[in-house]
Amino acid sequence: KKRHLASLLGQTRRRREEGEMEYMAFSKAVLRWRLIGEGYSSQLSIDDQRYIFRLAFRMWSEVSPLEFVEDSHSPLEDIDIRLGFGTGRHLGCTQRFDGAGREFAHAWFLGDIHFDDDEHFTAPNTGDGISLLKVAVHEIGHVLGLPHLYRAGSIMQPSYLPQESSFELDWQDRKAIQHLYGSCNGRFSAVFDWIRKERTPYGEMRVRFNTYFMRDGLYWLYENRQNRTRYGDPVAVEVGWHGIPANGVDAHVHVWTRGNDAIYFFKGSQFWKYDTENDQVFTEDEEGRRYPRPISEGFPGVPGPIDTAFYDRRDSQIYFFRGPSVYAFDVKANRLAKGYPKKITQVFPAVLPGDHPVANLDVAYFSYTHNAIFLLKDTSYWRVVSSRDRRRRPFLPYNGLLPHREVDEQWFDICNVHSTALRV
Amino acid sequence: EKLFHYRDRSDVVIPPSHQAELITDTDTAEDFLSKYGFITPVNWEDAQWDEEKLSEDFSSGDTMSLIQEGDSLSWSGNTKDPSENAQLITALKEFQRMIGLPVTGLFDDATKAAMNKPRCGVPDKEADSKTTAEHNTTTTGGEGSQLGNSTETDQEQVKDPEQKTAETRLVHTRSERLSR
């Protein structure tokens, strides 16, 4: 019996033999979980319990390539992680619970998580009792292969710490789980800094911005200072950006000059103008033009659809990318700049021969944080030579592309969650 | 029974049989240290498999601590010969070191209180304890380097309308959003 179950386990898990670290890790990206029917808690409503577990699984999904889906229908052997409550001797488990106090839960490598229903488990933010969310995140960490970590601030500490106002998986917990499952990477459809101007109570005009990453119908706010996405992201595009296509956009362009401040989103052969003040797309702008409009109408000479685009404040031109070509559009003259379209390899030459995205870019992004232009394709990015680079190394070509690096080495933990967990 | 209980059950008196046995002396402390692998690392994976053997032992109502050596089981019992004392002191020191208490090897009040805290039932030291220890040392290394330099225009710390709006929006769907 022991060997048989072990062989079953072998099918869904593999042991990572890396150096001295031997941990079990799932070898599938989408894991199914279920709160076992005979294992409901007697203290919280079933909906509360299921909601808390959905949130707990989502928190791990936000920092790892894993996705979790609740599955109440498949045969039990297809369920990767089973959760249940019990007291004393419970759910056929060999480890008896000790009653109220001390041991409140445990987890097994086969993916079983048991909670001692003699404990006073509470929903998040209820102050007293033991936060079921916090315990669930801890036990799921075990099932995913993490041991106890005695580091202050780690969710994998064995002893329960009364819940601070909120808890999140900190940097090192993220690295620990990513050590087992790898970091999150994937292609983005748009990356941009959204700029707003506000007046301080003293009447000063202040410019603020946030960085956003979009992938299909999801978006993340990236907190540059914290090197991570905002807690609780991703969010559905339709929730945060009203009026643009729910499955995402090809490009975001912010034309920002002394006399012009306009934000455009591009998708397919159309584009939208975004109303920053009201946080939604214009249906009709000041000149009475209705949106969405064909790209060829608003930017004559630029074919749709495009791969990506960005506005270059150095020469006040929008660079549209499509296939191997780049179209520089003179905003003031409202026409293509002379000599365009050109090859991307010609306008943005490789500094290191052969190290160039050549065609079909995903993103062209000017970052205010780095004061640099990045071209992204697949999971790599190329930074464009800046004026500061050329002051130090004059031999570098204008708009040259520096050797590529991986996106997830610069922007961390931009992870998908399962579509069923999006609304948690 | 009372006709009404407080919904948060704070008025329900838990019968003593459902109260976890507190750790009050060195015997119960030794049970604790043995259960969580401080005396001998626990082969937690296999604990789940040896169901028949363990359930028999448990059904005897015996609360003695179990130490598994491979597939055979042996009992630590209550005999106190000096080597066991040394083992207990070593285990106590290891426990105190792990949770950041003064490493004295004495079963003092702070150690007792720490042992009685609510905690996870997974052992702290599993069979391959060497890696666990090393893992811990690796994970307690310094913080990740803060990448990305901030500029005057990067005012993210100040709540931006979008974030607030987004959170407000999401408050309707996920009330903890703000706390999260």
What would the pLDDT profile of A407-424 be if each residue is shown by its tens digit?
999 999 999 999 899 887
pLDDT at A2 over 60: no
What is the crossing angle of helices A46-61 and A132-143, to 10°? 50
Q: Which of A56-60, A299-303, B31-35, B57-61 has the lowest mean pLDDT?
A: B57-61
H or E element: which one contains A195?
strand A190-199
A313 band by pLDDT with thresholds 50, 70 and 90: very high
Q: Which of B22, B51, B136 sits opposite A94 (nearest CB)?
A: B51
How far is the C-alpha of A128 from the C-alpha of A365, rounded, in Å? Answer: 47
pLDDT at B60 over 90: no
The answer to whether the Cβ–Cβ distance between B153 and A129 falls below 8 Å is: no
The residue with greater pLDDT, B99 or A32, is A32
Highest mean pLDDT among A24-28, A86-90, A247-251: A247-251
Measured between CA atoms, the residue of chain A closest to residue B127 is A22
Nearest-Cα distance to chain A for B56, in Å, is: 10
Please identify among residues 77-106 of chain B the ones whose CB lies closer than 8 Å to any CB of chain A.
Answer: 98-100
pLDDT at B45 over 70: no
Nearest-Cα distance to chain B for A332, in Å, is: 26
Q: Counting beta carbons within 10 angstroms of the beta carbon of residue A42, is it exposed (0 to 12), middle (13 to 18) or buried (19 or more)?
A: exposed
Query: A330 in helix, strand or coil?
Result: strand
**Cα–Cα nearest to B148, from A63, A171, A372:** A372
Among candidate residues A139, A277, A284, A297, the one labeled active-site is A139
- Angle in degrees, CA B51, B56, B58, rounded to 5: 90
Mark whether A204 is an active-site residue.
no
The answer to whether the Cβ–Cβ distance between A119 and B118 falls below 8 Å is: yes
Q: What is the pLDDT of residue B112?
A: 93
Contact between A112 and B122 (Cβ < 8 Å) = no
Q: What is the pLDDT of residue A27?
A: 87
H or E element: which one contains A11?
helix A2-12
Q: How many residues does chain B have?
A: 180
How far is the C-alpha of A342 from the C-alpha of A324, rounded, in Å? Answer: 9
ipTM surpassing 0.95, yes or no?
A: no
Q: What is the pLDDT of residue A151?
A: 87
Contact between A400 and A348 (Cβ < 8 Å) = yes
**pLDDT tens, B111-169?**
999 999 999 999 988 765 333 343 333 333 333 333 333 333 334 433 333 443 333 33
pLDDT at B172 over 70: no
- Residues contacting residue B83 through CB under 8 Å, at least 6 positions apart: none
How far is the C-alpha of B159 from the C-alpha of A231, rounded, in Å? Answer: 14
Q: Does A210 touch chain B (CB under 8 A)?
A: yes
- Residues contacting residue A417 through CB under 8 Å, at least 6 positions apart: A58, A61, A62, A67, A234
Q: Does A175 touch chain B (CB under 8 A)?
A: yes
B174 band by pLDDT with thresholds 50, 70 and 90: very low
The answer to whether the Cβ–Cβ distance between A207 and B136 falls below 8 Å is: no
